[in-house]
Amino acid sequence: MTSSTPALGTLTAEGSSLQAVLLDMDGTLVDTEDFWWDAESEAFAELGHVLKDEWRQVVVGGPMTRSAGFLIEATQADITVEELTGLLNAKFTERLRRGVPLAPGARRLLTELRLHGVPTALVSASHRAIVDEMLKSLGPEHFDVTIAGDELSRTKPHPDPYLTAARRLGADPARCAVIEDTVTGVAAGEAAGCQVVAVPSVSPIEAAEGRTVVKSLEEVNLAFLRSLVMVPH
């Protein structure tokens, strides 16, 4: 069951204690999950292997090293994780340079958060080089903090990326809203103690305690996010 969204333009919520909004990148703000799968499929085709569609559910939303390791083990391809990571990043970046489609509602939401002075962080499992390339389309001015997957010893589904983002923003994780599109990302946000908004991309995500599921970022605005993080009475 998905939650209903307040009307766009309604910018107040009584008792809200929202301190920051922490946003995933791939599949959430930018429609690039197909880019990653295409890059992975192309890389393994060059190595003489065909990826199975069901493997996509395993690698989506995860850190590069985990995804690369899984695919190497699954295919028995003759390549190291380090070599494959470099190859995938190169192929993905090549696709990014052709243009990055933003998810419906992403630009409006980022603009609204900035307009109202809400601290924001971009929290990605992608490497820093990919994040910086993507910021050219997203606009670096929309984020106070950016976290990349290769900057932490543990990334999603561990809570570390979201805890780090909250700390750098000076925010209490319990008073932060996380926006994610994958089960892995949702797990990271919830483990950090944040309120999570799931916008499923490749795999379905069920609503749960502390988690709200929407169909699109077009259903998300500042009033909606404030309504999720309320001061207890």
Q: pLDDT digits over 33-80, tens only? A: 788 888 899 999 999 999 999 898 888 766 778 889 999 999 999 999
Please tell me the pTM assigned to this model: 0.78
Q: pLDDT digits over 148-205, tens only? A: 999 999 999 999 999 999 999 999 999 999 999 999 999 999 999 999 999 998 789 9
Burial environment of residue 50 by CB neighbours within 10 A (0 to 12, 13 to 18, 19 or more)? exposed
8-state DSSP, 190: H
176 contact partners, CB below 8 Å, separation of at least 6 = 18, 19, 20, 21, 22, 162, 165, 166, 169, 192, 194, 195, 229
In this structure, the strands spanning 145-147 and 20-23 are: unpaired
Burial environment of residue 21 by CB neighbours within 10 A (0 to 12, 13 to 18, 19 or more)? buried
The answer to whether 179 and 22 have CB atoms below 8 angstroms apart is yes
